[in-house]
Amino acid sequence: MTIWKYPLKVTDIQNVEMPAGARVLSAHVQRDTICVWVLADPAADRVRRQFRIFGTGVPVGEIPMAEFVATVHFLRVGLVFHVFDYGEVPS
């Protein structure tokens, strides 16, 4: 098991390829990019995992099956986003 970092785009929905069964540890801003850190088995098959990012005050609708990961702050510009993990996406 190792800890891996994945950059995210500031967009509503995105899929990220990572090892199956990866455990999301946290999300933070690093060099003006939202990143998630996961604990993963590098030998595991790769899967797509869906993340959604919502700005504060933006309607989120229903978020079933989602796990809250973190609230991230872009301090220089005063923006705050909330990262949710929707888990593995079927192929």
pTM: 0.89
Report residue 4's pLDDT band, with 50, 70 and 90 as the boundaries.
very high
Q: What is the mean pLDDT of the chain?
A: 92
What Cα–Cα distance (Å) separates residue 35 from each residue in 25, 61, 65, 91? 11, 24, 21, 24
**Quick one: pLDDT at residue 23?**
97
Report residue 73's pLDDT band, with 50, 70 and 90 as the boundaries.
very high
Please report which helix (H) or strand (E) contains residue 52, including its range. strand 46-55
Work out the burial of residue 27: count CB atoms within 10 Å of its CB; fewer than 13 is exposed, 13-18 middle, 19 or more buried: buried
75 vs 54, higher pLDDT: 54
pLDDT in tens, 38-70: 999 999 999 999 999 999 888 887 766 789 999
Cα–Cα–Cα angle for 19, 61, 57, nearest 5°?
100
